[in-house]
Structure formats: structure tokens, C-alpha cells
Chains A and B, each alone.
Chain A
């Protein structure tokens, strides 16, 4: 099973700032099958990025994903109020099982 470790656990930033979130895998993620989700309080997760770097339908271009192998990054170029949420990475190249990281909370500083 591939274990995903996200860092930092919490990121305290102000609106307009850049957020950089990391996701490290315990072994190489097959075909870069790595996704990122945003979860706001009380809501279901929302797909942001799939295939490590492709934006899902309707996702603004201030969200970008990069990386390959075992190291992946989600960047939010300019934080807006609705971006303060918890973000999860997920690998789906070696399934079952699909695995998720433990999450990074982006909070308002």
C-alpha cells in the first residue's frame, strides 16, 4: 500500500498570498495517478487536480499541480477567501487500495 504524507499539517496565510502544499509518496505513483481535492467544512471533497497536473472541469487556473514519481505539489497562486479549506492528495495508480494523504489545512493568518 502506498502511504501519502502531506506537509505542512497547517498553513497560515493571508488572502492574496501563495500557498504551496506538498504530498510525498512512500513509493513511486504509477503513471502519475495523483489527484488533489479541496474540502470545505461540512461539504464533500471537490476534485481540483488529476493526473498530477491536469485541472478538473471548472477549476480556476490559480490552482496548479506538479510533480512526478514520489513528490507532488499543489500551488494556489493567490488565495481567495473560499480557498481556506483542507486539501487532500490521493493516489490511484496502485489500487486497490486507493489511498489519501492526511490533509493540509490552509487557514487565514
Chain B
């Protein structure tokens, strides 16, 4: 069965970087793109960007451009999201999600990774 399993919760200080992993299994990894979506406490969903697992092409939300990098390792079927220069308002649950049939709707989601940014 399709699964996306993310790395565990993390606590970072302002200005630091974080890298969240998303291990995919149960399907052909390079056949579906991966997006990252975050959710601040008590808030709605915010799309952060997308990566093609086939060729590594990326699209990022404009306001995060320069602070976020998405990568994949096809040998381990794992996607990564790295964010730099963390601020307190980056505190959120970060989700990876699989494209649905080539579109940018998402049929499978990881369990979420809580990243807390606090001094």
C-alpha cells in the first residue's frame, strides 16, 4: 500500500535550518511528484512547493523562495524539504503529499512533522 513516512518532530532556534524527510513506498516513486504543505498551529493549509521525482524540477511558493530547497533521492525513494533562516512563524506541522494522477491535488499524505522554532 502507498505510504509516506516522515521524519520525527524537531525543535530549532531562530536562524537555524531544518531538513524534513519523507520516505515513500508502495508505488513507483518517480511516477508521481511530491508537494510540501505546512500548517501553523490552529491555522489552515499552506502550499510550499513541488518537486518532480522524475527529473528534480521544482516550483516554490514565491514568498519562500530563497529559504526552501526540495530534493529527492531516488535510490532510497525519499523526498526532502530543507528550510533555512527559520523564524518563529515557521513553527508548523510540515506535510509531504503525493500528486494525484499528474495533477496538483494530493491523494496520499505523510503523517506530518512538527517543527518548532523557539529560542
Contact = CB atoms under 8 A, between A and B. Distances in A.
Chain A residues touching B, majority SS: loop
Interface residues of A, number: 22
A33 B105 contact: yes
Contacts, number: 62
Contacts of B47: 96-100
B61 interface: yes
Contacts of B60: 96
Nearest to B101: A50
8 contacts: A35-B105, A37-B45, A46-B109, A47-B107, A50-B100, A90-B45, A100-B45, A102-B44
Across the A-B interface, the 9 shortest Cβ-Cβ residue pairs: A92-B104, A44-B109, A35-B105, A98-B47, A100-B45, A96-B59, A50-B105, A102-B44, A103-B44
Interface of A: 33, 35, 37, 44-47, 50, 56-57, 88, 90, 92, 95-103
